[in-house]
């Protein structure tokens, strides 16, 4: 099952490269051929990604190994991968619930009324917008399949909102579309790598796109010893 997922994930990244400018890098880095090839296909900013990934490689590789040893987490990933094509999304969207909830369908951000919950960490209003029932008796955010379909539906909507830019859609899923569009309007920026850096300015290690691509590259089997 793990090998099947890795092969599907790897195949999905055979796409034209997107040209992006590096930020915060005054000098070039020494290319790692596998990582460089990955970034060319996936459209990530190689210099920025490399400088983040290499110091954090062991952590992401360890987390990959933990995931691949747990049948329930593999089943959850497989479910997202299998449903992704229904929403015209790349299989790499399976990384989103890994980052949002560690693939825990019962995850909760807190005990307060507006707390994000479930596999995809939906807040109540967004969950309802995506067709989930959330009230005092029923909370479909905690239903793995229903919330996954809602999560993919939301990502599909975000991709259309950002004219097919998958990175902006993924970033908006996490930080909120209102916050992201406000930042874009106030800064005049549209490069998702710049915007992800701004969103994580107070916690650089939590840069969402860098984490997204770090999980992707390790689950593909690249970058780990």
Selection from 223, 224, 220 nearest residue 90 by Cα:
220
Q: Which residue has the tokens 């996954």?
A: 148
CATH assignment of 2-219?
A: 1.10.530.10
C-alpha to C-alpha distances, 119 to 6, 23, 138, 186, 197, nearest whole angstrom: 21, 32, 16, 32, 25
Residue 223: pLDDT over 70: no
- pLDDT at 139 > cutoff 70: yes
SS3 117: strand
Question: Which residues make Cβ contacts (< 8 Å) with residue 164, sequence separation at least 6?
Answer: none
Q: Does pLDDT of 218 surpass 90?
A: no
CB atoms near residue 150 (< 10 Å): 24
Is pLDDT of 158 > 90?
Answer: yes
Give the lowest-confidence range in 14-18, 21-25, 70-74: 14-18
Mean pLDDT for the stretch of residues 179-204:
89
Q: Is the pLDDT of residue 35 over 50?
A: yes
Q: What is the DSSP string of 18-63?
A: PP---SS-SS--PPPHHHHHHHHHHT--HHHHHHHHHHHHHHHHHH
pTM, two decimals, is 0.82
First to last CA, the chain: 21
Contacts of 86 (CB under 8 A, 6+ apart): 152
Instruction: Give how far the C-alpha of residue 30 lies from the chain's centroid of Cα atoms, to the nearest Å.
Output: 26
């Amino acid at each position: 099952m793990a090998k099947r997922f890795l092969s599907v994930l790897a195949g999905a990244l055979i796409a034209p490269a997107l040209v992006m400018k590096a930020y915060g890098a005054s000098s070039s880095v020494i290319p790692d051929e596998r990582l460089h090839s990955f970034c060319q296909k996936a459209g990530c900013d190689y210099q920025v990604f490399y400088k983040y990934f290499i110091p954090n490689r062991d952590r992401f590789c360890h987390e990959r190994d933990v995931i691949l040893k747990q049948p329930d987490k593999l089943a959850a990933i497989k479910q997202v991968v299998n449903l992704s094509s229904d929403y015209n999304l790349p299989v790499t969207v399976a990384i989103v619930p890994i980052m949002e909830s560690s693939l825990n369908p019962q995850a909760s951000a807190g005990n307060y009324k507006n707390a994000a919950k479930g596999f995809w960490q939906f807040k109540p209003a967004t969950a309802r917008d995506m067709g989930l029932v959330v009230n005092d008796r029923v909370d479909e955010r905690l239903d793995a399949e229903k919330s996954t379909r809602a999560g993919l539906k939301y990502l599909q909507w975000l991709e259309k909102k950002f004219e097919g830019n998958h990175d902006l859609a993924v970033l908006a899923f996490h930080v909120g579309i209102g916050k992201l569009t406000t930042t874009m309007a106030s800064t005049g920026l549209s490069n998702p790598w710049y915007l992800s850096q701004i969103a994580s300015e107070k916690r650089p290690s939590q840069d969402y796109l860098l984490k997204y691509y770090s999980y992707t590259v390790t689950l593909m089997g690249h970058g780990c010893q």
